[in-house]
Amino acid sequence: MALIKTIRGVTPVFGQGIYLAENAVVVGDVVMGNDCSVWFHAVIRGDVNSIRIGNKVNIQDGAIIHCTYERAATIIGDDVSIGHRALVHGCTIYNNVLIGMGAIVMDHAIVEENVLIAAGAVVLEKSYLESGYVYAGVPAKKVKALSSHQFKDTVQRIANNYVMYADWFK
């Protein structure tokens, strides 16, 4: 069973259809929507600020979701995939976003909807990622428009597949 821990008197709140891997960790001021999954060794740590997660969000193996004390909450929209070992910290992620494996998104960054952040990219503090593009590199830069095929085949497909994968484990 996942480690779910009350911190400073606040216990995580979960929607329906959630899958939490046995060694996932969710602590403190975390509110998660429906049909989400938190995979092996992933950590969602709402100990110093709030974390709000929408519906159909998958937080893959080894990913870390955190925030900054009294400065930066973390907000994640619907249909978001957070890749293996990604770090999402004190930022706002809108709907239909794929954050690639090992990517980092830092405090006060804003990621509009319909964005793909490539594996290993580093989105610097206070960055603004415009809707409809692929961002890659260190620091992350806009590299090309996100085609409708890429959107359907990557962003939407992965979000939908993780709902199916979670059902296998329940």
Predicted pLDDT at 92: 98
Q: What is the mean pLDDT of the chain?
A: 97
Report pLDDT digits (tens) over 15-54: 999 999 999 999 999 999 999 999 999 999 999 999 999 9
Angstrom distances, CA of residue 99 to CA of 4, 19, 117, 129? 24, 20, 5, 12
pTM of the model: 0.97
Range of the domain at 139: 3-169
The SS3 call for residue 154 is: helix
Instruction: Tally the residues of the chain.
Output: 170
pLDDT(149) > 90: no
* CATH number, domain containing residue 12: 2.160.10.10
Report pLDDT digits (tens) over 74-131: 999 999 999 999 999 999 999 999 999 999 999 999 999 999 999 999 999 999 999 9
Q: Number of folded domains in the chain?
A: 1
| Owner of token pair 């046995």 | 22
pLDDT(5) > 90: yes
| Owner of token pair 């998660």 | 32
